[in-house]
Amino acid sequence: MMQIYTITVLVNDQPGVLHRVTGLFSRRGFNIDSMSVGASEEIGLSRMTIVSSGDEWVIDQIEKQMNKLIDVIQLTVER
Amino acid sequence: MEQKLMTGSEVLLHALLKEGTECVFGYPGGNVLYIYDAMVDNDAFKHILTRHEQGAIHAADGYARSTGKVGVCIATSGPGATNLVTGIATAYMDSVPLVVITGNVPTTVMGSDAFQEADIVSITMPITKHSYLVRSVQDIPRIVHEAFHIASTGRKGPVLIDIPKDISNHKMLYNPAQNSKPLDLRGYTAVPKPDHAAIDRLLDAIAQSEKPIIIAGGGVVYSDASHELLEFVNRTQIPVTTTLLGLGGFPSGHELSLGMLGMHGAYAANMAVQNADLVLSIGSRFDDRVTMNTAGFAPHAKTIAHIDVDPAEIGKNIKTDIGCVGDIKDVLQYANTKARPYQLGSWRAAIEADQAARPLRYTDSETELKPQSIIEMISETTNGEAIVTTDVGQHQMWAAQFYKFKRPRSIISSGGLGTMGFGFPSAIGAQIGNPDRLVVSINGDGGMQMCAQELAICALDQIPVKIVVINNQVLGMVRQQQELIHGNRLSHIDLAGSPDFVRLAEAYGVKGLRASTKADAERIWQEALETSGPVLVEFVVARDENVYPFVIGGTNLDQMLLGESE
């Protein structure tokens, strides 16, 4: 069943990190409904808030594939 | 030793040494001049100058797959870097640990479309496990240390380090004798600890099953778990089929070995999966060449179970009931403390009946040389003990079917990406990593021409690879698919006009031999085996031979075309 999810990701504030994340979404055919990126409370880390939609399989894959990115420090999904 | 002022390039070489690098495959150019300058008089590791960057990365890949160590290659910016792309994708798809070093234009002109500038970090982002653009010389020791760690742990893969030219010449204080600083990779868990409760559930499901089957994949080989798998199979008595990359991970001579499954898998192996009530994948990712139509895969399985180091593979391609994430060796070691047999009954007899009724076979000929017979001859004469690299196509499938692999890390083949041109250069890397083993490189006449230039380094360095060219004068796998799927509308598959391979080898200074009859084939192959240096052996074989069984894409694993034996 299609649902809307909010994914919050703490990432290393490195050049190219946005590309890594969005590239993963486009390569695997996942949706980005909206996205915002900004500094986090910890120096050197940025927070991305991504609203995505898909079924249970899609969100499971997004979570697992994102967690494989070395620059992803922490990821939470609001279901 | 004290800290010394060194260039980034000198630091890079010391850092590579600290990681145990024995050999680097590379090709110089303008933006790696400082790195190559630092290599002058460097005796610490070998550098093999290939004749194309693609040859360098495939050689590094063959080195890595055959030894289990990290393969290293270096290329310059722009075209040097982009020539590595196919090799990076090949390694990524098959989870091969590589550290790939590229030069880039100086940071001062980066982004200005400077001469030989290419954004290789972005280009390779979807095909690397991780990548670095070095922005400060001070980062080189840390980045190299991290790159080797990331490449060689967990689900292995290629890591790219892109070094701008000016950075490679900036100076820093460095102490080569000092240990690397501890890793600080917050976002990386190399190997998740196995969940014992999940493994217990798996063992219970096995004990209750009547028709279980194991699909053993490349993960078994990569985690050095073939001993543990053998023990697990001996304890549970479950028959084993392997993927292409899993060959050798389980001895093909074992009574419970069914050979390879999939598109060109053995009949009994494919049927066993389709009839099974429990399918256990160990280090195989349910690739589409293994499952074929996923909707019709293993229709009778009550339990699909999967052991894999990569959590993202669990349930990705096939809905999975029991997932055991962890290093396969760790998972099997724990499983072996409790493993017990399945409900032994008529299952094995049913599989053996399939094996007896439809073994892998071909019709031999008195007038033509059959490619399958060449593989059988190579298998018998090398006692299944050689390291065999293959290219991609029909000969690759025949090698998988008819070579009796006994040991892990014996088959070096591009499984996921299916890269033509891989077979020969990967053999060079495998031979350098295994100087005391016999390395046989099996190629078709198509793929041999995609990296033939590396004959030069075979001759120069006397790398004693036995290079086999199975020449049917056609792109055989494409011809087969055009014949069987496209109503025999043959389109652009004729390789007439290929060079005389024997004279091509001789032009590079490599001995060349040719046979087109069985008697000649045996004689020249024997001569090749007795040749101490490199030798190219061309077998001129029947043109229209097909690989069977053949499951056409989109159909189910048990809908096999069986050719003449049908």
| B403 shares its domain with B540 | yes
Contact A73 B133 (CB under 8 A): no
| B157 shares its domain with B263 | no
Give the residue from A17, A48, A70, A73 with the most B CB atoms within 10 Å of its CB, the best one to mutate: A70
Catalytic residue check, B404? no
Domain's final residue, options B104, B139, B174: B174
Query: Judging by beta carbons within 10 Å of its beta carbon (0-12, 13-18, 19+), is residue B469 exposed, middle or buried?
Result: buried
Contact B316 A61 (CB under 8 A): yes
Catalytic-labelled residue, pool B10, B19, B53, B538? B53
Dist CA B187 CA B511 (whole Å): 51
Structurally, chain A folds into a number of domains equal to 1
| B167 shares its domain with B205 | no
Report, in angstroms and rounded to the nearest whole number, the Rg of chain A calculated over CA atoms.
Answer: 12
Quick: pLDDT tens for B545-558: 999 999 999 999 99
| B349 shares its domain with B445 | no
Residue B180 three-state SS: coil
Q: Which amino acid, residue A76? A: T
Residue pair B173/B3 in contact by the 8 Å Cβ criterion: yes
Any domain includes B559: no
pLDDT(A43) > 70:
yes
User: What integer is the mean pLDDT of B463-488?
Assistant: 98
pLDDT(B141) > 90:
yes
Residue pair B250/B404 in contact by the 8 Å Cβ criterion: no
Report CA-CA distances (Å) from B433 to B44, B61, B68, B77, B118: 16, 11, 10, 27, 31
CA of A73 vs chain B CAs: smallest distance (Å): 4
B23 token code pair = 């050999």
Contact A70 B185 (CB under 8 A): yes
CA of A1 vs chain B CAs: smallest distance (Å): 16
CA of B538 vs chain A CAs: smallest distance (Å): 41
For the beta carbon of residue B246, count every other beta carbon within 10 angstroms: 31
Any domain includes B518: yes
Any domain includes B561: no
Q: Is the ipTM of this complex over 0.85?
A: yes
Q: How far is CA B154 from the centre of its chain?
A: 17
CA of A42 vs chain B CAs: smallest distance (Å): 13
pLDDT(B114) > 70:
yes
Confidence of residue B42 (pLDDT cuts 50, 70, 90): confident
Contact B150 A67 (CB under 8 A): no
Of A23, A24, A70, which is closest to B187 when you measure between CB atoms?
A70
Report CA-CA distances (Å) from B539 to B312, B369, B445, B453, B458: 43, 8, 10, 20, 20
User: What integer is the mean pLDDT of B236-250?
Assistant: 98
Any domain includes B106: yes
Query: Residue B566's pLDDT is what?
Result: 53
User: What integer is the mean pLDDT of B260-286?
Assistant: 98
Among chain B residues, the shortest Cα distance to A68 is held by B188
A23 token code pair = 């590239």
- Range of A60's domain? 3-78
Residue pair B510/B485 in contact by the 8 Å Cβ criterion: no
Q: How far is CA A22 from the centre of its chain?
A: 8
Of B135, B186, B310, which is closest to A73 when you measure between CB atoms?
B186
Residues in B closer than 8 angstroms to A68, CB to CB, are 155, 310, 312
Catalytic residue check, B165? yes
Dist CA B466 CA B174 (whole Å): 43
Q: Which amino acid, residue B92? A: Y
| B353 shares its domain with B376 | no
Report CA-CA distances (Å) from A60 to A53, A68, B285, B315, B498: 12, 13, 16, 9, 50
Dist CA B422 CA B356 (whole Å): 35
User: What integer is the mean pLDDT of B1-24?
Assistant: 95
Tell whether B192 lies on the interface with A, counting CB pairs under 8 A. Answer: no
Catalytic residue check, B53? yes
| B337 shares its domain with B387 | no
Mapping DSSP onto H, E and C, the string for A10-48 reads EEECCCCHHHHHHHHHHHCCCCCCEEEEEECCCCCEEEE
Residues in B closer than 8 angstroms to A71, CB to CB, are 187
Residues in A closer than 8 angstroms to B311, CB to CB, are 64, 67
Structurally, chain B folds into a number of domains equal to 3
Any domain includes B350: yes
Contact A65 B312 (CB under 8 A): yes
Catalytic-labelled residue, pool B116, B138, B208, B482? B116
- Range of B67's domain? 4-174
Query: Residue B6's pLDDT is what?
Result: 96
Percent pLDDT > 70 in chain A is 100
DSSP A73: E
Tell whether B318 lies on the interface with A, counting CB pairs under 8 A. Answer: no
Lowest pLDDT segment from A43-52, B189-198, B498-507, B511-520: B189-198
Total beta-carbon pairs less than 8 A apart between chain A and chain B: 38
Of B122, B186, B315, which is closest to A19 when you measure between CB atoms?
B122
Tell whether B186 lies on the interface with A, counting CB pairs under 8 A. Answer: yes
Look over chain B and give the mean of its residue pLDDT values, rounded to a whole number: 97
CATH number at residue B489: 3.40.50.970
CATH number at residue A18: 3.30.70.260
pLDDT(B322) > 90:
yes
Domain's final residue, options B306, B323, B357: B357
| B276 shares its domain with B146 | no
B274 token code pair = 């389709």
Dist CA A26 CA A21 (whole Å): 9
Confidence of residue B565 (pLDDT cuts 50, 70, 90): low
Q: What are phi and psi of B202, to 5 degrees?
A: -60, -45
Domain's final residue, options B140, B174, B208: B174
Dist CA B310 CA B324 (whole Å): 10
Q: What are phi and psi of B195, to 5 degrees?
A: -90, 105
Percent pLDDT > 90 in chain B is 96
Residue pair A15/A45 in contact by the 8 Å Cβ criterion: no
| B244 shares its domain with B315 | yes
User: What integer is the mean pLDDT of B118-137?
Assistant: 98
| B234 shares its domain with B294 | yes
For the beta carbon of residue B507, count every other beta carbon within 10 angstroms: 14
User: What integer is the mean pLDDT of B253-263?
Assistant: 98
Phi-psi region of B489 (alpha: psi -120 to 50; beta: other; left: phi over 0): beta
Output the DSSP codes for B430-445.
HHHH-TTS-EEEEEET
Catalytic-labelled residue, pool B165, B211, B404, B518? B165
Report, in angstroms and rounded to the nearest whole number, the Rg of chain B calculated over CA atoms.
Answer: 24
* Cα-Cα end-to-end distance for chain B: 72
Residue with tokens 């075309």: B561
Contact A16 B133 (CB under 8 A): yes
| B391 shares its domain with B429 | yes
Confidence of residue B2 (pLDDT cuts 50, 70, 90): confident
CA of A64 vs chain B CAs: smallest distance (Å): 5
Report CA-CA distances (Å) from B504 to B273, B396, B471, B538: 45, 22, 14, 11
Query: Residue B273's pLDDT is what?
Result: 98
Helix B196-208 with B328-336: angle, nearest 10 deg? 60
- CB within 8 Å of B395: residues ≥ 6 apart: B371, B375, B442, B443, B444, B470, B476
Output the DSSP codes for B70-82.
PEEEEE-STHHHH
| B312 shares its domain with B203 | yes
Contact A70 B133 (CB under 8 A): no
Residues in A closer than 8 angstroms to B129, CB to CB, are 70
What residues 24-63 of chain A have any CB closer than 8 A to a CB of chain B? 24, 27, 57, 60-61
Contact A70 B130 (CB under 8 A): yes
Of A15, A27, A67, which is closest to B126 when you measure between CB atoms?
A27
Is the overall model pTM greater than 0.95, yes or no? Answer: yes
